[in-house]
Amino acid sequence: MTFISPLFILFITIVIFVNYLLPPRFRYVFILSVGLVFVGFFNIESLIAVLLFTLFNFYLAKLILNNRALFIFGLAVNALAIILFNYFNSTTNGLHFSFTLISFQIDKFIVAFGLSFYSMQNIAYLTEVYSKRMIAETKLAKYVLYSVFFPKFISGPVMLPVEFISQIDNNVITNNNLIRGFQLLLLGVFKKMVLADRLAPGVCSVFDYHSNYSGLTTLVAAYLFTIQMYFDFSGYTNMALGMAEMLGFKLKDNFNFPLRSTSVSEFWRRWHISLISWFTKYIYYPVVFRLRDYKKIAPLIGILLTFFVSMIWHGIGFTFLAWAVCHIIYLCFESLTRKARTEFSERFNNSLCKMLYIFIVFNLVCFSNIFFRANSFDTALHLIKTIGCNFIPDNFYNGLIAPIAVGGHQIDEFNLYITILLSVLFLLFERRIGNIVSSERINIKYIIGSVLLIMIFGVFNSGTRFIYMQF
Amino acid sequence: MKNFYKILISFFLLLVLFYGLEKLYDFALRHNCNIKIAYIQKEKINAEILIHGPCEPLWMISPEKLDRITGLKSYNLALTHSDFADNYLHLYYYLKNNNAPKYLFFYVTPESMDLNYNTFNTYRFAPYLDNPTVDSVIKECDSNFYKWVRIPFMRYAFYNKNINFDAIQGMKHYFNNRKKPYYVNGYEPPFQVKWDNHLENFIQLYPHGYRFEWNNLREKYLCKLIELAKQNGIKVYLFESPVLKEALQYQPNREVMVNRIKAIATKYGIVFKQFDNMKIAESREYFMSTLNTNLKGSRIFTDSLGAFIKAEIGKANHPE
């Protein structure tokens, strides 16, 4: 049951309606039950795995205060879950355990969806409790709800326990919540169905069948993939935020116009904010604090470790390693040249320079995303090689337009132009659209406009999942 | 309360807009001469020989050439990526507005019987959902689409990527009062001149060869199509165009599939003609992919098919 399916539309409509009618004190029990059904819908093994982990963390949190060994044990178990999940994701047959008497096979699908996001929340919870920044939750139901709150379960946003659990007792749903939530949900559906899913086939065509394409084609596909991933993941986040808001909860926003960043460090402050906040709080800052005596090296080692962990979180493989190395280089370079760059940008502080910075950062991010998207390290290298050696296609139409349009017909070309036009227009007016959506007033023009665009240009039969569901 | 009215107004406005858009798309698609199903309902083609099937006959058989060889009027009703259900509905609509042809040459290969090849293109029939025959075929062949179609405009929204362009073109044809399609006799010359590496990709994907899987739904619609043609007094011929010989080694059960097709032909007392001994099957020079000949190969094949049809007509006219 993905967020875009007839079954889910029916599911969410009923849940929001029933939740709205329920007295506030019963709501969290209801949403908890719904969350369990949602997780169990993927498969019953997922539900069992999630419940076992939740119980483990809930009871462990009560024992870890002043017990460093138990705290480290808890962290290790959760970290192991992330590593195993990513290992399963990178293999096809699961892992076979064999002992003298017992032999069993863990299939990759037994591992719960969203386990990476979910384990990060557990790590945050144990750390907060251990460092006495919060008291261990006494009510199991509230903790389970924090873990399996279905809008954020699959792909976040990653919430710190204190940010979420405090909302359970103060659950209020006003008309404004419903309006804003619905408008956000609609924005998410629009981004996913009209923009991300329309871009996906062109990106797939180049990244998955890359053998004959020119460098320019590959470069355009790399640009389109970055834009597709942004629409896909921010669309998911908008939908999660919208649903949560209609259920009386506020989740953290994950994106703040990241494609307008003028530096890579700024990009990481605007992209997947909840995950980066987590990494910053639980990895970067502790490392920098520990190495505070080595002022120049400390941030560099902090960046190195943060991206190393980020790589493991995203997946185990050379492609993610290369992606992480790219960002380590970018950020270390920025860190080392901060002073010179600040002086330079003060001297040349005009919109043209700003656009140039945005363009450079966008290209750097797209370059690293070639590794992120490629099916293998060799493929990524081949793609980069084509950009360097075989840039201009022999025939502009057959070499550039046809592969990205996925077909050589007028209709494919028409669809490609429409997709690019819609994407560019959206990126240009994104801030204005964001203001409309986040206002508490119902905007008929926005609702009608977006529903019409979804119906006329949305992809209903893609069957594609959200990109970040794999993590 | 104010918000409630706003939501109510939005809802009704959207309903009205969807209803209006549905009518507009319906109108536009029916006026697009380049869409075969629209064209065959507007124009009286009344061909005596009908060529039908997926992209292979569409790109390989020129009715102009056939007309010269056979002396009869022919029309190419084939469509890209179409499966038997798709072909069945096109024949059904052709017969609604045209005289039944004397001969139907219908392309069938082992690939046609396998779900991994060709598909039912629901979007082609979106304007005709009100017809019970179309409705029942779509219900059976695309249940995923079918569960949405009662929502206004959803029949066009679902596959909008395949429809928007055609709708705009349909409006253009209406305003320009255009009556003839771009390809008047239905034949589209092969668009590709070079070998497309399809076989190389196929071998990479299936290094030990690919075993075809017989699909019962495909068989059902093949039988329905033959029965529909026979009910209308049409003499049906099944045929398979030359297949690039070097590809056959990667299809271990091709012969088994061919035998099953022959069994269907025998059941209906019709001919299944294979052009597997043609010289062109031995060289890539005449092909753009395993099944599709290029322009050079198509010309040679059309000549052979024409000669075969001429001989068959001769047999029919002089049974002794």
CB contact under 8 Å between B165 and A410, yes or no, is yes
The owner of tokens 């280089």 is A329
Helix, strand, coil percentages (3-state) for chain A, rounded to 5, are 75, 0, 25
User: Do A325 and A368 meet the contact criterion of CB atoms below 8 Å apart?
Assistant: no
B149 vs B25 pLDDT, higher one: B25
Contact A332, A300 (CB under 8 A): yes
The confidence score (pLDDT) of residue A93 equals 43
Among chain B residues, the shortest Cα distance to A463 is held by: B144
Contact B161 A198 (CB under 8 A): yes
Q: What is the per-residue burial (b if ≥16 Cβ within 10 Å, else e) of A212-237?
A: ebbbbbbbbbbbbbbbbbbbbbbbbb
Q: Which residue has the tokens 């929001």?
A: A16
Please check whether residue A210 touches B, CB under 8 A: no
Q: Phi first, then psi: give them for residue A217, nearest 5 degrees.
A: -60, -45
Contact assignment for B157 to A456 by CB distance below 8 Å: yes
**In this predicted model, what pLDDT tens digit does every residue of B24-38 receive, in sequence order?**
999 999 999 999 999
Which pLDDT does position A210 carry in this prediction?
67
Whole-complex ipTM: 0.87
Distance from CA of B292 to the nearest CA of A (A): 16
**B117 is written with which tokens?**
């090849």
Give percent above pLDDT 70 in chain B.
98
When pLDDT is averaged across residues B164-189 and rounded to a whole number, the result is: 94
Residue of chain A whose Cα is closest to the Cα of B17: A452
A162-171 contacts: CB < 8 A, separation 24 or more?
A162/A128, A162/A133, A162/A134, A163/A252, A164/A249, A165/A137, A167/A248, A167/A249, A167/A250, A168/A28, A168/A142, A171/A24, A171/A27, A171/A28, A171/A248, A171/A249
Does A418 contact B164 at a Cβ distance shorter than 8 Å? yes
Which conformational region is residue A225 in: left (phi greater than 0), alpha (psi within -120 to 50 degrees), or beta? Answer: alpha
Q: Pairing relation of β-strands B49-52 and A103-106? A: unpaired
pLDDT at residue number A107: 47
| Sign of CA pseudo-dihedral A201, A206, A211, A212 | positive
Burial of B121 (0-12, 13-18, 19+ CB in 10 A): buried
Interface with chain B: mutation pick from A194, A446, A455, highest number of B CBs within 10 Å? A455
Helix, strand or coil for residue A214? Answer: coil
Is A394 at the interface with chain B, CB within 8 A? Answer: no
- Segment B269-319, tens digit of pLDDT: 999 999 988 889 998 889 988 899 998 999 999 999 999 999 988 877 766
List the single residue in B with minimal CA-CA distance to A451: B14
pLDDT of residue B148: 87
Given CB atoms, is B172 within the 8 Å cutoff of chain A? Answer: no
Is the Cβ of A397 closer than 8 Å to some Cβ of chain B? Answer: no
- Domain B2-317: assigned CATH number: 3.40.50.1110
For residue A187, give both structure tokens: 């924005």
What is the pLDDT at residue B10?
87
Other CB atoms within 10 A of residue B186 CB = 25
Element (H, E) at A381: helix A377-389
Q: What is the pLDDT along chain A (471 residues), one digit of tens a residue?
A: 566 777 788 889 999 999 999 998 889 999 999 989 888 887 787 788 888 889 999 999 999 988 899 999 999 999 888 887 766 655 544 443 333 334 344 444 444 556 778 888 999 999 999 999 888 988 899 999 998 898 988 887 988 888 888 898 888 899 889 999 999 999 999 999 999 999 998 898 888 876 678 888 899 999 999 999 999 999 999 999 999 999 999 999 999 999 999 999 999 999 999 999 999 999 999 999 999 888 888 999 999 999 999 988 887 789 999 999 999 999 999 988 888 888 887 887 778 888 999 999 999 999 999 999 998 999 999 999 988 887 777 777 777 777 777 776 788 889 999 999 999 999 999 999 999 998 878 889 999 999 999 999 999 876 666 766 666
Which residues, other chains included, contact A3 with Cβ-Cβ below 8 Å and sequence gap of 6+?
Answer: A188, A192, A236, A239, A466
Average pLDDT of span B172-180: 94
Q: Tell me how far apart the terminal alpha carbons of chain A are, to the nearest angstrom.
A: 17
**Residue ranges covered by each domain of chain B:** 2-317
Question: Min CA distance, A209 vs chain B (Å)?
Answer: 9
Q: Does A410 touch chain B (CB under 8 A)?
A: yes
**A212 and B197: CB-CB below 8 Å?**
yes
Q: What is the pLDDT of residue A81?
A: 82
- Mind telling me how many Å the CA of B267 is from chain A's nearest CA? 38
The verdict on A209 touching B (C-beta cutoff 8 Å) is: yes
Q: Does the CB of B197 have a partner CB in chain A at under 8 Å?
A: yes
Residue where the block lists tokens 């209406």 = B174
Q: Give the pLDDT of residue A163.
A: 85
Q: Which residues pair with B49 in a beta bridge?
A: B74, B103
